Amino acid sequence: MSDTIFALSSGPPPAAIAVVRISGPHAGEALRALAGRLPVPRRASTASLRDPGDGSLLDRALVLWLPGPGTATGEDSAELHLHGGRAVVAAIERALAGLPGLRRAEAGEFTRRAFTNGVIDLAEAEGLADLLAAETELQRRSALAMASGELSRLVEGWRDRVLSLSAQLEASLDFADEDDVAGLPAAFEADCRDLSEALAAWLARPHAELLRDGFRVVIAGPPNAGKSTLFNMLTDTEAAIATPIPGTTRDLLTQPVALDGVPFVFVDTAGLRADSADPVERIGIARAEAASAAADLVLWLGAADERPGGAWQLAPQCDRPDRDAVADPRHAVSALTGEGIASLCADLVATARVAMPAPGAVALGQRQRRLLGECREAVASAAHHPDPLLAAEHLRLARLALDRLIGRSGTEDMLDALFGRFCIGK
């Protein structure tokens, strides 16, 4: 890793300011080559940046010299805060690329160096990726908790408990005489069970995917119930074609929306009718049924006696006096007048908030759940294993799973996939 990397870390030009980051052993030399001097560390100062070849002025900029290891990447770093024009950025990048030992960074390479140099661990890097992708308030708060090391601290705590269980076992093995190796310490089994239950409680918490992908609400019911019109109203779009002709919506239409900072995905479906002769519509109906099964919540716009289990009964088109009354609906709504929509939305937000990870709480992603699950199983197996040597091996596997969770031991392809999620310059 002797290369020194550089990249535009701010958004695409033109912009008011463009920030170019440099990281690696030649960062100081690069800064001196452009600015003519090395500024006082960690103090912003202005400098005339010149072409190292012909000495011509490229820009007047704010520069920062950040000697390692106390930097974001753990390496010598520099930042150039340029005028954010396309040609300014291009000229500076050209000058940097011409310096020996410097090259353009790949996507996520700054963060990857931070991880490799032990400035952040894997869980924090994952949190950072989520933070950059966060679009809603709930996503931002959860990602920030992860990026600030909350999961890492929890994992360290669990790891300490596994290590102390291993120590208990080893002590009992050391002191046991040869005929009595089966004598496990009295508290061992209870301690294993406590840890295993604590991990199970974490595994049972709401998943991060719910936060990332949104709470999935499927709008279902017979043709012409008003599904597409309600979908358009809730998502504030004209995405769905609403017509009086039955069977207009044939495929699923999905639209992500944030309501009150909570991420939702609304799904409009083909009307459910048993007698459709149209093969395309029949496929649409099958998809609608599958979507309802996979939903976090179904809004049912049909007759009460056909309502799928768990679905909310709505009374749609409530502005129309000619519609049959729906007995005891959760909400009566009109997508035409807007009646009942605000209270439906408030109810949806309150329900999704309960199902989602709590604001600012760490939520586990799929990879993290898998490893934590492996750890829990290994601890549970150790609890009542008749052979202390094999129990010790289970505890070793438990520790290994935790190490992989925070990246103390990991596989390269997983790292490639993670850091590939970042943009260039991060």
Here the tokens at position 3 are 């290369």
Applying CB under 6 A, the site for ligand GDP has a residue count of: 20
Sheet-wide strand order for 253-259: 253-259, 262-268, 215-220, 297-300, 312-315, 331-332
* Closest CB 243 distance from ligand GDP, rounded Å: 5
Based on CB atoms, which residue is closest to ligand GDP, 71 or 317? 317
Which residues are CB-neighbours of 362 under 8 A, at least 6 positions away?
142, 145, 146, 150, 151, 154
Name the one range near ligand GDP by CB under 6 A: 132-140, 162-170, 200-208, 221-229: 221-229
Based on CB atoms, which residue is closest to ligand GDP, 22 or 230? 230
Alpha carbons 240 and 247: distance in angstroms, whole number: 12
* Closest CB 319 distance from ligand GDP, rounded Å: 5
DSSP 305: G
- Note whether 139 and 263 are within 8 A (CB): yes
Which residues are CB-neighbours of 367 under 8 A, at least 6 positions away?
126, 414
Alpha carbons 45 and 41: distance in angstroms, whole number: 10
Q: Which residues within the stretch 312-351 sit at the binding site for ligand GDP (CB under 6 A)?
A: 316-317, 319-320, 334-336
Q: x/- contact string, 236-275, with ligand GDP (CB under 6 A)? A: ------xxx---xx---------------------x----
Based on CB atoms, which residue is closest to ligand GDP, 74 or 226? 226
* Closest CB 160 distance from ligand GDP, rounded Å: 56
Write the Ramachandran bin of 154: left for phi over 0, alpha for psi from -120 to 50, otherwise beta.
alpha
- Note whether 42 and 66 are within 8 A (CB): yes
Q: x/- contact string, 134-153, with ligand GDP (CB under 6 A)? A: --------------------
* Closest CB 215 distance from ligand GDP, rounded Å: 21
Q: Which residue has the tokens 């912009």?
A: 15
* Closest CB 264 distance from ligand GDP, rounded Å: 19
For residue 156, the SS3 value is helix
Phi first, then psi: what are they for 258, rounded to 5°? Answer: -100, 125
Based on CB atoms, which residue is closest to ligand GDP, 248 or 351? 248
Based on CB atoms, which residue is closest to ligand GDP, 234 or 352? 234
229 near ligand GDP (CB under 6 A): yes
Based on CB atoms, which residue is closest to ligand GDP, 142 or 235? 235
Footprint on this chain of ligand GDP (rule: CB under 6 A): 223-229, 242-244, 248-249, 271, 316-317, 319-320, 334-336
